[in-house]
Structure 1
Amino acid sequence: MTIEWLWLGVGFLGQALFSARFLIQWLASERARRSIVPHAFWLFSLAGGITLLAYALYRRDPVFIAGQGAGLFIYTRNLVLIRREVRLSRARQ
């Protein structure tokens, strides 16, 4: 197996993780019968974004790198906000 095939696999894995987040969001919204964004959406966003960023860095694609890098900040920030909300909720109980 050449390094190109390995990185192609990394790219497809990242895309699969990134795409799975939409399926997760859709199923959670259908279950709740309203639009919601579950915690797993942000986890899959982060995992897919990191994997795709690694692939973009390997490919040396500045457009792809900038897009994934900016997204990682947003996904991480949302996870931090969720964690803070959970901690505050537990402290109030």
Structure 2
Amino acid sequence: MLIKLSQDVGGYLYDVFIARFDLWLALGLFGQALFAMRFIVQWLASEREGRSVVPLAFWFFSIGGGLITLAYGFHQREPVIILGQSLSIFIYARNLMLIQRERRVRGRLGRATAE
């Protein structure tokens, strides 16, 4: 039974990752890798600071990975990926807008106190 299970799992993994491998799968895997990098960047930044930190690179990896994964979802006609990534990309972009606005305000405050 265990041998049969391992053969079935091996056959499944071969079919999914080797037999069906094409440019779109490579693109989807690349998008997923970019998406995963955001967690590594966030974790390393937090470890360095000794507190939870969300660096700017987190949002750029989120957008890059999200857009590529969205393209993959459209190509594969995967409604779960399309809906999930469409909303997520908006949220990532909005976070970048909020960060930019905060930096502008801080810049203006810094100039005002220096004068």
- Classify the TM-score, shorter chain: over 0.9
Give the distance between the partners of 2:96 and 2:76, measured in 1 at CA.
28
Q: CA shift at 1:5, angstroms?
A: 1.1
Aligned runs of 1:8-87 on 2, under 5 Å?
A: 8-87=25-104
Q: CA shift at 1:17, angstroms?
A: 0.2
Give the distance between the partners of 1:42 and 1:51, measured in 2 at CA.
14
Give the distance between the partners of 1:41 and 1:9, measured in 2 at CA.
22
Give the distance between the partners of 2:109 and 2:33, measured in 1 at CA.
38
Question: After TM superposition, which residue ranges in structure 1, 4 or more long, deviate above 6 angstroms?
Answer: none
Question: Could you say which structure has the greater relative contact order, defined with CA pairs below 8 angstroms and 6 or more residues apart?
Answer: 1
**TM-score normalised by the chain length of structure 1:** 0.93
Structure with the greater alpha carbon radius of gyration:
2
Query: What's the CA shift string for 1:15-46, capped at 9, x where partnerless?
Result: 00000000000000000000111111011001
Size of the aligned set, in residue pairs, is 90
Letter paired with 1:43: F
Residue 52 of structure 2 aligns to a residue in which SS?
coil
Letter paired with 1:64: I
Letter paired with 1:15: Q
Give the distance between the partners of 2:26 and 2:100, measured in 1 at CA.
32
Letter paired with 1:20: M
Letter paired with 2:88: G
- The percent identity for this pair of structures is 54
Q: Which runs of 5+ in 2 are unaligned?
A: 1-20, 111-115
